Amino acid sequence: MKFQFDSAKAKSNLQKHNVSFADAESVFYDPLAIHLADPYAVDEERFIAIGLGSAGQITLCARMK
């Protein structure tokens, strides 16, 4: 899986959700994470992962394909 780093978005997410980009990314590599298609996505493919982030908290993250 490839992630694009956007420093402005990373800063915004940290301020809004108190989750760093690195922590959010690590959720997608959790071997026990649950991965689902986002049922509310309309114009794009989006996916949800619920798993343990590198900060040790259960985290829900969304990504686009």
Query: pLDDT tens-digit profile of 48-64?
Result: 999 999 989 999 998 88
Tell me, what amino acid is at 23? Answer: D
Q: 29 φ, ψ to 5°? A: -105, 0
Q: How many Cβ atoms from other residues are within 10 Å of residue 53's Cβ?
A: 23
Task: Give pLDDT, residue 63.
Answer: 87
- Whether 65 shows a pLDDT value over 90: the answer reads no
Task: Give pLDDT, residue 6.
Answer: 86
Instruction: Write down the pTM of the prediction.
Output: 0.79
Task: Give pLDDT, residue 11.
Answer: 94
Task: Give pLDDT, residue 38.
Answer: 92
Cα separation, 52 vs 24, whole angstroms: 9
Distances (CA, A) of 28 to 15, 31, 32, 43: 21, 8, 10, 22
